[in-house]
Amino acid sequence: MADKIRLGISSCLLGEKVRYDGGHKWDRFLTGTLGKYVDFVPVCPEVECGLGIPREAMRLVGDATNPRLVTVRSGVDHTERMLAWARRRVVELEKEELCGFIFKSDSPSSGMERVKVYSASGSPVKTGVGLFARVFMEHFPLLPVEEEGRLHDPTLRENFIEAIFTLKRWREMLASHGGRGALVDFHTRHKLLLRSHSLEHLRRLGKLVAQAADLPVPELYDRYLKLLLETLRRKTTSRKNTDVLYHLMGYFKGDLSADEKQELRDLIDLYHRGIVPLIVPVSLISHYVRKYHQHYLKDQWYLNPHPLELQLRNHV
Ligand code: SF4
């Protein structure tokens, strides 16, 4: 990759000692494996809004839809300080060209979902959102976001990482200043990847691209990007991937022997039943793409959406 992907992250996940107790929450996968492809932009809301290290622990209290950020022991309310800082910080982050953000789970400042909110009686409900995370997601409503805990789920991990790599390619396409032609090429090469997220969205994107000549370029880019990010938020499933795999198989009608077709059909079926990982049928199809010089498929990002070293398609 020419440039690394720029990704926002809760600072403590990088091993920075910024937690209330002076500790960190270093995450080996994020820094070690994903870190090879990513330039992290660390954000610690509690330190950056002026609270020190160490500091008194905080929690969300009150109305779960609009909670206050209050220290646990002395009851100091930091809500306004945090919100004022967060609103300034998200504007600054616009310049960073982020392709996504990884939040620290369960934090009253950084948690993306299911953060505990305590009622007056002291009993918590797990329906809150950390104050900074909420401001960030309202400011960048379609940007891919995840929590480090959810990234242990192989499907969520694959979906998130696929989204940030796709957004990186989008940014590179923009930087090429290739106008409508570059967008048409981007769309063509992502068709199968988009199909694995949502066939309906692929059709809507196709209709938009078909009107490309009639739309001013900035409007075309803007509408395409919004729809692209919406598409990537639809998670892939084994059913959707199976549909794409059979669709891919259709390109080899005239090339494969009856035996080869049966072998590929069997592998797709094993994948669909959760017995072999996606990488197995994809590898065989990639082999046929090279063997039979399938130029259209050779350019499809679906067959190679992120580095193999990340092993994102190796799970069942
Ligand atoms: S969870 Fe957020 S606020 Fe807490 S230490 Fe980590 S980055 Fe800072």
- Chain segment 7-42, per-residue pLDDT in tens: 999 999 999 999 999 999 999 999 999 999 999 999
Q: In the chain, what is the greatest distance between 2 CA atoms, to the nearest angstrom?
A: 75
Q: Residue 101: what residue type?
A: F
Look at ligand 1, atom 2, and give the residue with the nearest C-alpha: 110
Confidence band of 219 (pLDDT split at 50, 70, 90): very high
SS3 of 83-116? HHHHHHHHHHHHHHCCCCEEECCCCCCCCCCCEE
Distance CA 109, CA 277 (A): 37
Q: Among 16, 17, 46, name the best residue to mutate to test ligand 1's pocket (greatest count of ligand atoms within 8 A of Cβ).
A: 46
Distance CA 8, CA 140 (A): 12
45 lines ligand 1 (CB under 6 A): yes
Q: Could you give phi then psi for residue 46, rounded to 5 degrees?
A: -70, -40
Q: Cβ(306)–Cβ(162) under 8 Å?
A: yes
Look at ligand 1, atom 5, and give the residue with the nearest C-alpha: 19
* Whole-number pLDDT of residue 298: 96
Distance CA 116, CA 96 (A): 30
For the residues 297-312, what does the mean pLDDT come to? 95
Q: Cβ(62)–Cβ(121) under 8 Å?
A: no
Residue 122 CA to ligand 1 center (angstroms) comes to: 23
Burial 185-219 (b: 16+ CB within 10 A, else e): ebbebbbbbbbbbbeebbebbeebbeebeebeeee
Query: Which atom of ligand 1 lies at the shortest distance from residue 104's CA?
Result: 1
**Residue 24, Ramachandran bin (φ over 0: left; ψ between -120 and 50: alpha; else beta):** beta
Q: Cβ(232)–Cβ(301) under 8 Å?
A: no
159 lines ligand 1 (CB under 6 A): no
What are 117's strand-pairing partners? 60, 125
Confidence band of 266 (pLDDT split at 50, 70, 90): very high
* Whole-number pLDDT of residue 122: 84
Q: Among 109, 116, 135, 145, name the best residue to mutate to test ligand 1's pocket (greatest count of ligand atoms within 8 A of Cβ).
A: 109
Query: Which atom of ligand 1 lies at the shortest distance from residue 19's CA?
Result: 5
64 lines ligand 1 (CB under 6 A): no
Separation of CA 204 from chain center: 21
59 lines ligand 1 (CB under 6 A): no
For the residues 119-129, what does the mean pLDDT come to? 92
pTM for this model (two decimals): 0.95
3-class state of residue 126 by DSSP: strand
* Whole-number pLDDT of residue 1: 52
Cis omega (within 30 of 0) for bond into 216: no
For the purposes of burial, counting CB atoms within 10 Å of the CB of 80, is it exposed (0-12), middle (13-18) or buried (19 or more)?
exposed
* Whole-number pLDDT of residue 196: 98
Residue 257 CA to ligand 1 center (angstroms) comes to: 57
Whether the predicted pLDDT of 2 surpasses 80: no
12 lines ligand 1 (CB under 6 A): yes
Q: Which helix H or strand E contains 60, and what residues bound it?
A: strand 58-61
Distance CA 67, CA 60 (A): 6
Residue 105 CA to ligand 1 center (angstroms) comes to: 9
Q: Cβ(142)–Cβ(229) under 8 Å?
A: yes
